A and B are shown apart, each in its own frame.
Chain A
Amino acid sequence: MTARPRRIGERDDIGRTPAVEREIDMESLDRRRRVAGLGLVVLTVAGGLTACSGSSGGDAPAGDAPAGGASQAAGGGTYTIWDPYPQFDDSSDWVKLLGQCGTQAGVTVKRTGYDTTDLTNKALLAAQQGNSPDVLIVDNPVVSTLAEAGVLTSTDETKIDTSAASPNLLAAGQIGGKTYGIPIGANTLALYYNKDVLKKAGVDADGVRDWASLTAALEKVKAAGKKGITFSAIGTEEGSFQFLPWFWGSGANLTKLDSPEGVAALSLWTDWVKKGYAPNSVINNTQTTSWQEFATGDFAFAENGTWQLANAKKAGFPYGIIPIPAKDGGTAPAPTGGEFVSIPVQQDTARYAVSQKLVTCLASTDNSLATDTTLSYIAPTEEVQAKQVEQNPDLKVWVEAVKAAKGRTSDNLGTKYPKISEPLWKATQAALSGSQPPQEALAAAQTAAASATQ
Chain B
Amino acid sequence: MEHATRTPAPPPAGDRRERAPARGQGGVRRALTRRNRPGQWAAWAFLTPLVVYLLAFYAYPLYRNVELSLRDYTVRSFVRGDAPFTGLANYLKVVRDATFGPALWHTVVFTVVSLVFQFTIGLALAMFFTRRFRLSATLRALFLVPWLLPLIVSSSTWSWMLNSDSGVVNAVLGAVGLVPVHWLTSPDWALWSVTIANIWIGIPFNLVVLHSGLQAIPAQVHEAAEIDGATGWTRFRRVTFPLLRPVSAITLLLGLVYTLKVFDIIWIMTKGGPSGASTTLATWSYRLGFGNLLPAFGPGAAVGNLLIVIALVFGLVYIRVQRRQGTA
Using CB atoms and an 8 Å cutoff, list the residues of chain A in contact with chain B.
2-3, 6-7, 10, 16, 19-20, 23, 27-28, 31-32, 34-35, 38-39, 41-59, 117, 120-121, 124, 127-128, 141-142, 145-146, 148-151, 234-237, 279-284, 293, 296, 415, 417-419, 421-422, 426-427, 429-430, 432-436, 441, 448
Contact = CB atoms under 8 A, between A and B. Distances in A.
Contacts of A53: 65, 261, 282, 285, 300-301, 303-305, 307-308
A141 B79 contact: no
A41 to B, nearest CB: 8
A283 B75 CA distance: 30
Contacts of B91: none
A54 B286 contact: yes
B58 A47 contact: yes
Contact of B326 (A31, A55, A148, A237): A31
A25 B16 CA distance: 42
B100 to A, nearest CB: 14
A32 B326 contact: yes
Contact of A51 (B61, B246, B315): B61
A35 B322 CA distance: 7
Contact of B75 (A35, A58, A149): A149
Contact of A6 (B68, B216, B263): B216
Contacts of A234: 271, 273
B202 interface: no
A280 B185 contact: yes
B146 interface: no
A141 B293 contact: yes
Given A20-B221, A53-B65, A127-B79, A237 B290 contact: no
Contacts of B319: 35, 38-39, 42
Contacts of B316: 42
A140 to B, nearest CB: 11
30 contacts: A6-B218, A16-B220, A32-B326, A42-B253, A44-B54, A45-B254, A45-B311, A46-B257, A47-B61, A51-B61, A53-B301, A54-B304, A55-B285, A55-B289, A55-B304, A58-B64, A120-B293, A121-B290, A128-B79, A148-B76, A149-B79, A235-B270, A281-B165, A283-B184, A284-B159, A293-B165, A418-B292, A418-B293, A421-B292, A422-B292
A34 B213 CA distance: 15
A90 to B, nearest CB: 27
> Which of A3, A10, A55, A427 has the most chain B CB atoms closer than 10 A to its own CB?
A55
Contacts of B62: 47, 50
Nearest to A280: B164
Given A142-B293, A284-B184, A128 B81 contact: yes
Given A53-B307, A235-B272, A293-B166, 20 more contacts: A28-B326, A34-B246, A38-B250, A46-B308, A46-B312, A50-B58, A50-B61, A51-B61, A53-B305, A55-B285, A56-B65, A57-B290, A57-B297, A58-B68, A59-B64, A150-B79, A236-B291, A280-B165, A283-B184, A415-B294
Contacts of A435: 187, 274-275, 277
A56 B64 contact: yes
Contacts of A49: 257, 260-261, 304, 307-308, 311
Contacts of A434: 186-187
Contacts of A448: 98
Nearest to A227: B165
B105 interface: no
Name B's interface SS.
Answer: helix
A280 B273 CA distance: 13
Given A3-B212, A121-B290, A433 B312 contact: no
A19 B220 CA distance: 10
A280 B285 contact: no
A34 B322 contact: yes
A54 B311 contact: no
Contacts of B282: 52-53
B213 to A, nearest CB: 7
Given A50-B65, A55-B69, A120 B58 contact: no
B58 A433 contact: no
Contacts of A430: 274-275
Interface size, B (range): 35 or more
A38 B316 CA distance: 9
Given A58-B64, A433-B185, A435-B274, A35 B326 contact: yes
Contacts of A120: 293, 295
A281 B185 contact: yes
Contacts of B154: none
Given A50-B61, A150-B80, A284-B185, A433 B257 contact: no
Contacts of B213: 2-3
Contacts of B254: 45
Contacts of A141: 293
A214 to B, nearest CB: 21
A55 B68 contact: yes
B296 to A, nearest CB: 10
A44 B293 CA distance: 32
B31 to A, nearest CB: 31
A283 B294 contact: no
Interface in B227-265: 246-247, 250, 253-254, 257, 260-261, 263
B94 to A, nearest CB: 12
Contacts of B218: 6, 10, 19-20, 23
A234 B62 CA distance: 32
A432 B57 CA distance: 43
Nearest to B220: A16
A236 B213 CA distance: 44
Contacts of A280: 164-165, 182, 185-186
A154 to B, nearest CB: 16
B304 A433 contact: no
Nearest to B279: A235
Given A3-B212, A42-B316, A145-B294, A284 B79 contact: no
Contacts of A415: 75, 294
Nearest to B187: A435
B243 to A, nearest CB: 9
A46 B326 CA distance: 24
Contacts of A59: 60-61, 64
B132 interface: no
Contact of B216 (A2, A34, A39, A236): A2
Contacts of B301: 53-55
Interface in B310-328: 311-312, 315-316, 318-319, 322-323, 325-326
Nearest to A279: B165
A234 B184 CA distance: 11
A146 B293 CA distance: 10
A19 B218 CA distance: 10
A45 B312 CA distance: 9
A174 B123 CA distance: 61
Contacts of B318: 38, 42
Contact of B274 (A20, A58, A128, A283): A283
